[in-house]
C-alpha cells in the first residue's frame, strides 16, 4: 500500500487539532495535544487494521475451502461493510463458476456417451500427434488391452502410412483417407479417415471403420460372378460349337449328327440344372423359401431318395442299403429333407467307383435325429473339408464337371439344413470313402405318435 494512504489519515487529525488549539490562544499546548491525537490515531489504526486483517484472512480461508469443494463461509455479524461487499462479490463469482463448471461437466459426459455409443473407433491427438482421447469402440476394433492415451500412432498401430497421415493432419491441416490391413490371429481391414480438428484447435482426429466383413463379401461376390461365368461358359461353348458344326453340314451325316445332338442335349440339361441350382440357392440365401416345418419320418424320406439314385447305382454295380429306424421322426420340411438326402446320395453314388457301396444309417443322439450317408468312394483330402460346402467349390474340378456336377449341391444342403435348425458335417479320408452326417431336431413323442 502506498505510504501516503497511511500517513495522511494519521497526520491529518493531529495537524487539525494542533492548529485549533493554537487558534484558541494556547500555542504552547498545541504540540502536546497534536502528539496525543497522533498517538490515539495510531492506536485506532492498529486496532482497525488487525480486525480487517482477521476478517480478510477468514475470507481467504473460506474462499480456498470453496475452491476445494467445501461450503461457504459462516456469516459474521461484526464484519466490516467493505469485507461483506467483497464476500458478496466472491459468492456471486463462485455461483457463476459453479454453474459453468456444471455445464462443462454435462457437455463432457454427453460427448463421452456419444463417442462410446458409436460403432466406429475414434481417437483425438494433440498437436504433436499423441493420443489424448479415444472411445470404447476403438479398443474393441484394435483388440488391445494396452493403454492408448498418451501413445503415438506408431505405438498403437505399427503402420507408417497412418503415422504420416496423423502428422500431416496436425502440422499441415491436411485430411487423409487410407485402408489398413492388420495381421494377427484375426486379421482385419480398417478404413481410416484422418482430419485436422479445425477451429484453431491443435491436433487431429481419426475415425476407424472395420470393413473386414465388407471386403470379404466383396471378394465372395467377385468369386461368385467369376465362377458363375466360368460354369455357364462351358456348356454354352459346347452347345454353340456343336450347333455351328451341325449348321456347317454335319447335320446330314447320319453317324456324326446323332452324337452331336446328344452332346447338345446333355449340355443343355447341365445348363438347366445349373440355373435351377442357382435360383434355389439364391432363394435360400435371401430367405425367400417358405419351409413348412412338420414331422418327417426319416426312413420314408431316405427310401424315396434312395429309389431315385438306385438305377444309377445299379448301373455301376453299387449297393445302396438303408438302416434308418421306422420310428425316427424329425422336425423339418418334407421336400427339403428329401432334397438334402437326395443330394448326398447322388454325390455318394457319383464319386464311388463301380462295385462300391453306399450306406444310410439313422439314429437318435443327444436329443437330435442323425442320418449318416457313408460311401466307399475316392474320399476327400483334409485340406478340402472346410471348403466343400462353398458355392462352386470342387475337390477335382475336371472330374466333377465330367460327372455332371454343378458345384452347388452341398451348398444347398447346408442352407436347407440351417433353415430347418439343423447342420451337416463331413468326415473323409482319401481312398477310404466319406461320411456326411446331418442333424435335425427330433419330433416330440406326442407329435410323432400323431404323425
Query: In whole angstroms, what is the distance from residue 149 CA to residue 132 CA?
Result: 5
Q: What is the distance between the alpha carbons of residues 413 and 434, in angstroms, rounded to a whole number? A: 16
pLDDT at 449 (0 to 100)? 39
Give pLDDT, residue 448: 42
Residue 1 has pLDDT above 50, yes or no: no
Query: What percentage of the chain has pLDDT greater than the value 70?
Result: 78
User: Using the 8-state DSSP alphabet, how is residue 352 labeled?
Assistant: S
Given a cut of 90, is residue 136 above it in pLDDT? no
Q: Give just the sign of the alpha carbon dihedral 38, 43, 48, 53.
A: positive
Residue 228 vs residue 311, higher pLDDT: 311
- Is the pLDDT at 2 greater than 60, yes or no? no
Residue 158 phi, psi (nearest 5):
-80, 80
Dihedral angle sign, alpha carbons of residues 343, 344, 350, 356: negative
**Nearest C-alpha neighbor of 362 from the set 335, 326, 323, 333:** 323
- Is a pLDDT exceeding 70 seen at residue 180? yes
Q: Give tens-digit pLDDT for 43-55.
A: 665 656 666 677 6
pLDDT digits (tens, 9 = 90+) for 265-289: 888 887 887 787 777 777 766 666 6
The pTM (predicted TM-score) of the whole model is 0.53
Q: Strand ranges (DSSP E) for 70-114?
A: none
- Say what the pLDDT of residue 451 is: 41
HSE at residue 171, side-chain half, CA atoms within 13 A, is 9
Q: Identify which of 46-55, 287-296, 309-318 has the greatest average pLDDT.
A: 309-318
Greater pLDDT, 49 or 191? 191
For the chain, percent of residues with pLDDT exceeding 90: 24
Q: Count how many Cα atoms sit within 13 Å of the Cα of residue 297 in the half-sphere of its side chain.
A: 11
Which residues, other chains included, contact 401 with Cβ-Cβ below 8 Å and sequence gap of 6+?
234, 394
Return d(Cα 441, Cα 285) in angstroms, integer: 21
pLDDT score at 423: 93
d(CA 400, CA 413): 17
Cell of 283: 432363394
Closest CA to 170 of 197, 138, 135, 208: 197
Q: Any residues with CB less than 8 A from the CB of 346 and at least 6 apart, and which?
A: 308, 309, 312, 409
Mean pLDDT (whole number) for 181-193: 86
Residue that is written with C-alpha cell 504420416 in the block: 164
User: Regarding predicted confidence, which is higher, 223 or 373?
Assistant: 373
Counting Cα atoms < 13 Å in the Cβ hemisphere of 2 gives 4
Q: Which residues contact 372 (CB under 8 A, 6 or more apart)?
A: 359, 360, 361, 362, 435, 436, 437
C-alpha angle 302/306/312, rounded to 5°? 160
Q: Are strands 201-210 and 121-125 parallel, antiparallel or unpaired?
A: antiparallel
**Highest mean pLDDT (candidates 10-19, 26-35, 228-237, 362-371):** 362-371
Rounded to the nearest integer, the mean pLDDT of the chain is 80
Cα separation, 374 vs 341, in Å, equals: 12
Per-position DSSP letters for 282-293, written without gaps between them: HHHHTT------
- Predicted local confidence at residue 188, as pLDDT: 87
The pLDDT tens digits for 5-56 are 455 555 556 565 555 656 655 665 556 655 666 566 656 656 566 666 776 7
Amino acid at each position: 500500500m502506498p505510504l501516503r494512504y497511511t500517513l495522511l489519515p494519521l497526520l491529518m487529525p493531529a495537524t487539525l487539532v494542533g492548529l485549533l488549539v493554537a487558534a484558541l490562544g494556547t500555542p504552547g499546548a498545541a504540540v502536546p495535544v497534536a502528539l496525543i491525537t497522533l498517538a490515539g490515531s495510531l492506536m485506532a489504526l492498529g486496532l482497525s487494521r488487525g480486525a480487517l486483517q482477521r476478517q480478510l484472512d477468514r475470507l481467504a480461508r473460506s474462499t480456498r475451502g470453496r475452491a476445494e469443494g467445501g461450503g461457504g463461509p459462516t456469516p459474521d455479524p461484526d464484519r466490516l461493510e467493505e469485507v461483506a461487499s467483497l464476500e458478496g462479490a466472491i459468492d456471486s463469482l463462485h455461483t457463476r463458476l459453479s454453474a459453468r463448471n456444471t455445464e462443462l461437466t454435462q457437455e463432457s459426459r454427453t460427448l463421452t456417451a456419444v463417442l462410446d455409443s458409436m460403432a466406429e473407433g475414434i481417437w483425438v491427438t494433440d498437436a504433436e500427434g499423441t493420443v489424448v482421447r479415444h472411445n470404447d469402440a476403438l479398443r474393441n476394433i484394435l483388440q488391445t488391452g494396452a493403454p492408448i492415451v498418451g501413445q503415438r500412432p506408431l505405438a498403437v498401430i505399427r503402420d507408417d502410412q497412418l503415422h504420416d497421415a496423423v502428422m500431416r493432419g496436425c502440422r499441415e491441416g491436411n485430411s487423409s483417407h487410407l485402408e489398413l490391413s492388420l495381421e494377427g490371429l484375426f486379421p482385419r481391414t480398417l478404413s481410416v479417415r484422418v482430419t485436422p480438428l479445425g477451429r484453431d484447435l491443435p491436433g487431429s482426429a481419426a475415425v476407424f471403420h472395420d470393413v473386414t466383413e465388407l471386403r470379404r463379401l466383396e471378394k465372395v461376390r467377385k468369386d461368385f460372378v467369376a465362377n458363375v461365368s466360368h460354369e455357364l461358359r462351358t456348356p454354352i461353348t459346347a452347345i454353340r460349337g456343336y450347333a455351328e458344326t451341325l449348321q456347317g453340314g454335319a447335320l446330314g451325316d447320319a453317324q456324326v449328327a446323332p452324337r452331336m445332338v446328344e452332346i447338345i442335349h446333355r449340355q443343355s440339361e447341365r445348363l438347366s440344372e445349373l440355373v435351377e441350382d442357382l435360383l434355389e440357392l439364391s432363394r435360400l440365401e435371401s430367405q425367400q423359401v417358405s419351409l413348412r416345418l412338420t414331422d418327417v419320418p426319416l426312413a420314408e424320406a431316405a427310401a424315396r431318395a434312395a429309389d431315385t439314385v438306385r438305377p444309377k447305382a445299379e448301373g455301376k454295380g453299387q449297393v445302396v442299403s438303408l438302416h434308418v429306424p421306422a420310428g425316427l421322426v424329425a422336425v423339418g420340411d418334407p421336400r427339403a429333407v428329401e432334397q438334402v438326402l437326395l443330394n448326398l446320395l447322388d454325390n455318394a453314388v457319383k464319386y464311388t467307383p463301380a462295385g462300391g457301396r453306399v450306406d444310410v444309417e439313422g439314429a437318435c443322439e443327444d436329443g437330435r435325429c442323425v442320418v449318416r450317408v457313408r460311401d466307399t468312394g475316392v474320399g476327400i483330402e483334409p485340406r478340402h473339408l472346410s471348403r466343400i460346402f462353398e458355392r462352386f467349390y470342387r475337390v477335382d474340378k475336371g472330374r466333377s464337371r465330367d460327372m455332371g456336377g454343378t458345384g452347388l449341391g452341398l451348398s444347398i444342403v447346408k442352407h436347407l439344413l440351417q433353415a430347418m435348425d439343423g447342420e451337416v458335417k463331413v468326415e473323409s479320408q482319401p481312398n477310404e470313402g466319406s461320411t456326411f452326417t446331418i442333424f435335425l431336431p427330433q419330433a416330440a413323442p406326442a407329435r410323432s405318435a400323431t404323425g
